[in-house]
Amino acid sequence: MAMTSAREASVDLAPAEEMISRYLEEREAIIGLLQDIQEHYGYLPRPVLDRISERLGLPRTQLYGLATFYRAFTLKPQGKHKICVCTGTACHVRGAVPVLDRIQSDLKLAPGETTEDGQFSLQTVNCVGACALGPVVIVDGQYEGHMNTAKIRRVLRRYGLKKEDDGDAADSK
């Protein structure tokens, strides 16, 4: 695992301690605990994983194995706006790839990454089951349906993408 970053060093462990206690009490599945942690912190912070390892007596390698095997988990902090592009089959045949490419080129971001300014995180998901709206992009839980390369840019601008960022400064409107 990477070195603990400054941001991670300041992680508030109290909620995690509570979740771990509840887990020990109810003998819940470890994956459920990690999901609760991920939901609360937005990712799996290293100091929290260390605490889980200590209190549960599990090797950290095992936690790392789970965290990297399952798509639900990420070890990196997430951006302010979470963009999730559905790449399910229905969205794919309706043109999800050009939409994803446009997001990547406008934000200079690959799936799984966060912009340097911490504004946007980009993810893909295998299917959200809103196929009637495909291609679908979900931004901060809001479904944006029937996307194409032009519409997605308007959506991104709503969330703070500046015009000069998308190489479209010539647009006078």
Partner 1 sequence: MLRTRSDLEALQAECRKAHDPGLVTVTLCAGTGCRACGSLAVGEKLAGAIASNGFQGKVRLKRTGCHGFCERGPLVVLQPSGVFYQRVQPKHVDDILRKTIGEGALIDELLYVDPSSGSTIVKESEIPFYKKQKRVIFGMNGFIDPEEIRDYLRLGGYSGFARALSEMDGEAIIGEILRSGLRGRGGAGFPTGRKWDVCRKARGDIKYVVCNADEGDPGAFMDRSLLEGNPHRVIEGMLIGALAVGAQRGYIYVRHEYPLAVKHVAGAIAQARELGLLGENILGTGFSFDVKINRGGGAFVCGEESALILSIQGETGLPYQRPPYPAEAGLWGKPTLINNVETWAAASIIVTEGADWFNRIGTETSKGTKVFSLVGKINNTGLIEVPMGITIREVLFDIGGGIPEGHRFKAVQTGGPSGGTILVDEKGAPIRADMPAGGAAEHAVLPESLLDLPIDYESLTGAGSMMGSGGMIVMDETSCMVDVARYFLTFLTEESCGKCLPCREGIRQMLAILDRITSGRGQEGDIELLEELGGTVAETSLCALGGTAPNPLLSTIRYFRHEYVAHIRDKRCPAGVCRALLTFSIDPRACTGCGVCARECPSGAIRTRAPAPGESAPKLREGRLLHRVDPTACTKCGACFEACKFQAVSKE
Residue numbers at the binding site for partner 1 (CB under 8 A): 29-32, 34-35, 65-66, 69-73, 87-90, 92-94, 98, 101-102, 105-106, 125-134, 136, 143, 145, 148-150, 166-168, 170-171
Do 146 and 155 meet the contact criterion of CB atoms below 8 Å apart? no
User: Rounded to an integer, what distance in angstroms lies between the CA atom of residue 72 and that of residue 125?
Assistant: 10
Nearer to partner 1 among residue 46 and residue 102 (C-beta): 102
Do 153 and 106 meet the contact criterion of CB atoms below 8 Å apart? yes
CB of 137 to partner 1, least distance (A): 11
User: Rounded to an integer, what distance in angstroms lies between the CA atom of residue 42 and that of residue 139?
Assistant: 15
Nearer to partner 1 among residue 16 and residue 128 (C-beta): 128
Helix, strand, coil distribution of the chain in percent, nearest 5: 50, 10, 40
CB of 93 to partner 1, least distance (A): 5
Strand partners, 82: 121
Nearer to partner 1 among residue 9 and residue 72 (C-beta): 72
CB of 152 to partner 1, least distance (A): 10
Do 145 and 133 meet the contact criterion of CB atoms below 8 Å apart? yes
Nearer to partner 1 among residue 5 and residue 148 (C-beta): 148
**Type of residue numbered 80:** K
CB of 28 to partner 1, least distance (A): 8
Angle 99-101-105 from CA coordinates, rounded to 5°? 120
Nearer to partner 1 among residue 36 and residue 46 (C-beta): 36
CB of 31 to partner 1, least distance (A): 5
